[in-house]
Structure formats: structure tokens, C-alpha cells
Amino acid sequence: MEFDKLRGDYKKAMESIDLSKDSRDRILSNIRLEDLSVPAEKKATRKRFPFHVVLPVAGAAFAVLILFGVMLGIDSNRFKNMTAVPDAPKTHNADLDEEVKGKVENMIEDGSVDGPADENRQYKVDLKPANDGKNFISGGVDKSVKATAGGVLGKLSFLPFTEYTDCVVTDEKYCIDVHRYEETGGAQDTITIIVADGINDIGGAVVEIHVDGKDAILYGSKDDDEYNRALYTTDNNLFVVIESGKYYGKTVWEDIVKGASVGD
């Protein structure tokens, strides 16, 4: 009841606001000038999706995006682990060397591998031929590849690392020749030469070098000048892969390839 006065006074105040004839005529003339047709496509664009549709779809899309990002991150890390992280430095273990040597000899003796029995060739193991009598190097070459081409031995005779004070040529041989370099500071690296008479794809070529008549391909990172693998072909069509645990620059690899040789 107390607001009845307010209602009356409010109405009186509002009565002062009215649409004059001039204003009405002006509005009418403006309306007559307007295009009152509504294009069909304009109507279609006004359609809006309600929140209960938009929110779940947007949420699902966001979740898929996050999942995709996580998977991409995992794949990226896996790729890094496969290609970029060098093998951990190995320590020289004389006992282990003896053990390995003994196992290889046992394998030769018990006939599990076809190896010549003579003393000179006892470490040149011919595996039973695979791939139609060919030993192949496949992608992801590592030290698990135990294959030489018909008992041909690869050697690394040139030692380019002047900073290394100790050089040990081990007898740790299956069918590969291992040269182990021990650095003054204690860090070690293993460089392995593998010889095979066939090769499958082992990854994209990065840079080619020409050393001492050998046309080699280096694998690693060209931008960073870091490589951990070299491949070249001999005159008698044998494939030679040299692997290192650490990454070295192109000039170092030129010396390594220069010092590599195949045969007795």
C-alpha cells in the first residue's frame, strides 16, 4: 500500500515521455525505407548450438588434443632414445673379455657356428648363411650384429684421438674387431667395425665424405656436426659399418674411416 503513491508519481513522471507526432512520422518514414526481407542464408547463420551439445564436444576435442600431445611427446622421447643418445661408456673388464672369448670358442667347437678351427682364424666366425648365403646389416646397426662376410675381418688401425693416452686393442672379438680407447679422464668409448656382404636400410644419409679412396656416408646430425656411424663399400662389394658410442665431428670421422681396413 505504501508504494501506491510511488506508482502514481512514477506514472505521472513517465507520462512526460511520449512519442511525439514528429518522432512517429520520422520513425515510420525510416521503416518504409528499410528492407524488411530476411535472406534465407542470414537466418541459417543465426542457428546456435546449445551448451549441452557444445560443451561435451569441445571437452572431447580438448581431451583428444591433450592425448595426441602426450603421445607425440612419448614418441619424440622414444625417437630421441633410439637415435640421439649414445651408448653408455663401457668399462674394460678383462674377466668379461675372457668369458666372452671362451663362449665364442665353445660355440665354434660345439658346431653351433661354422668357424674355422685354425688358430689364426679362430675369431673370424662365419655364421650360418642367412638371406641366401648373405650376411646382412640391417637398420639400427649395433654390436648385436655378429656377421662378417665370409670371415673377412674389419680393422681400425688408425687412432685419431690424440687426447687419449691409452689405447687398448682388445681380444673381444666375435666376428667384429673392437678397438677401445681409454681417455685420460676415465671416460671411455668403443668404436666397432662391422663387415657384411649385404645391407638393408639403416637410416637416412646425412653427409658424404671422401677419404683415402673411400666414399663414406656419415649418420648423425649434420647441423651439430655430430656423427656416430659411418658406412662405406669396399671394392669387392663388402659393406663396412663403423659405429661409435659417442658422437664425433666430421674431421674425426674422416680419420677413423681413413684408418679402417678390411681383410687380414
The footprint of other proteins (CB under 8 A) covers 2-3, 5-7, 9-19, 23-24, 26-28, 30-32, 34, 36-38, 48, 50-52
> Minimum distance from CB of 81 to other proteins (Å)?
49
* Cα R_g (the chain), whole angstroms: 39
Q: In what order do the strands lie in the sheet with 214-221?
A: 164-169, 177-183, 188-196, 239-248, 226-233, 214-221, 207-211
> Minimum distance from CB of 12 to other proteins (Å)?
5
3-state SS class at 222: coil
Q: Which is nearer to other proteins, 13 or 88 (CB)?
A: 13
Buried residues in 176-189 as b, exposed as e (16+ CB within 10 A): bbbbbbbeeeeebb
Q: Which is nearer to other proteins, 42 or 128 (CB)?
A: 42
> Minimum distance from CB of 21 to other proteins (Å)?
10
Q: Which is nearer to other proteins, 28 or 94 (CB)?
A: 28
**Separation of alpha carbons 226 and 249, rounded Å:** 5
Q: Which is nearer to other proteins, 34 or 223 (CB)?
A: 34
3-state SS class at 258: helix
> Minimum distance from CB of 26 to other proteins (Å)?
8
